[in-house]
């Protein structure tokens, strides 16, 4: 775990949400609160609020789903931005008394004290590729849940499990016919039909990734692909 230890005149902790953000700015000398305000998540409002302290200001927030715009805004404006590691930040400042105002203050205090755990700020150009890979992985896992349900059903009925991996469509042929109960058979057929749809979605996303994925380190990707079983999509994930 790494902590941000940079020294600044002002430290801004933000409890960020989708529509609102609670700002707390502390000065370096005595840790005095010079600003504590709730704002709408609008760039102009944020820049207006921090304008008096921008000569030496650092901004920090926890890693949640809506941090992209704030990180990019700070980068464009030349304001140092720190992204807090969600897991470690929760472990440090978790407490019974919690609200937006208190949380923003705690983030600012941790930042000023050199105890704010740092997460990696993913480059803007690579975020779309990473997010699409995550979405593809979500569909892969959902398809895996369908296959697990099929095998569980066979075990429940004490029937021989389907041979081979259900990942391959050739191994799915005839699987429903092995179920004597028509109602249970309908459940298995529904699983297989949905799995077939996931197959097409996953293939489509793979084609999009191969055509449009942005690779900033092709040498590392080439090296990863020398590992047996690692193809282009898995290489991008690693």
73 and 52 within one domain: yes
* CA gap 133, 148 in Å, rounded: 22
Shared-domain flag, residues 159 and 97: no
Distance CA 43, CA 21 (A): 11
- CA atoms of 238 and 223, how far apart (whole Å): 11
Instruction: Please check whether residues 40 and 86 belong to one and the same domain.
Output: yes
Total domain count, the chain: 2
Do 45 and 16 have their domain in common?
Answer: yes
Domain C-terminal end among 117, 132, 160: 117
Sheet with 57-62, side-by-side order of all strands: 33-40, 20-27, 10-16, 57-62, 81-84
Same domain (yes/no): 161, 104: no
Mark whether 143 and 67 lie in a shared domain.
no
pLDDT of residue 172: 92
In Å, what is the CA distance from 3 to each residue of 82, 114, 118, 231?
10, 6, 5, 35
Note whether 128 and 203 are same-domain residues: yes
Residue finishing a domain among 91, 117, 143: 117
95 and 138 inside one domain: no
Q: What is the pLDDT of residue 232?
A: 73
Last residue of a domain, one of 62, 84, 117: 117
- Give residue 96's pLDDT: 62
Nearest Cα residue to 180 out of 168, 188, 170: 188
The answer to whether residues 91 and 18 belong to one domain is yes
Q: Which tokens sit at 144?
A: 């895996």
Regarding whether 68 and 144 lie in a shared domain, the answer is no
Strand, coil or helix: 116: strand
For 38, the domain range is 3-117
**CATH code of residue 57:** 3.30.420.10
Indicate whether 98 and 172 sit together in one domain: no
Q: Do 42 and 112 sit in the same domain of this protein?
A: yes
- Tokens standing for 111? 């930042």
Which residues of the chain are under the pLDDT cut of 70? 91-97, 214, 216-217, 237-238
Cα separation of 124 and 71, whole Å?
A: 9
Q: Is 115 left (phi over 0), alpha (psi -120 to 50) or beta?
A: alpha
Predicted pLDDT at 50: 97
């Amino acid at each position: 775990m790494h902590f941000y230890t940079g020294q600044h005149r002002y430290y801004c902790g933000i409890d960020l949400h989708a529509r609102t953000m609670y700002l707390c700015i502390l000065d370096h000398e005595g840790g005095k609160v010079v600003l504590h305000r709730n704002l709408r998540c609008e760039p102009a409002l944020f820049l207006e609020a921090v304008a008096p302290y921008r000569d030496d200001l650092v901004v920090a927030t926890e890693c949640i789903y809506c941090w992209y715009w704030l990180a990019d805004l700070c980068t464009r404006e030349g304001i140092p931005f720190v992204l807090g590691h969600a897991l470690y930040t929760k472990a440090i400042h978790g407490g019974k008394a919690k609200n937006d105002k208190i949380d923003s203050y705690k983030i600012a205090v941790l930042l000023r004290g050199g105890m704010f755990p740092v997460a990696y700020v993913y480059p803007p150009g690579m975020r779309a590729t990473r997010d699409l890979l995550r979405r593809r992985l979500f569909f892969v896992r959902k398809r895996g849940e369908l296959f697990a349900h099929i095998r569980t059903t066979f075990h429940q009925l004490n029937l021989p499990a389907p041979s081979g991996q259900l990942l391959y469509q050739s191994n799915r042929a005839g699987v429903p016919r092995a179920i004597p109960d028509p109602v249970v058979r309908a459940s298995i057929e529904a699983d297989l039909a949905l799995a077939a749809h996931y197959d097409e979605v996953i293939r489509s996303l793979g084609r999009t990734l191969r055509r449009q994925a942005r690779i900033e380190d092709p040498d590392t990707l080439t090296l990863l692909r020398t590992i047996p079983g690692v193809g282009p999509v898995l290489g991008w994930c690693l």
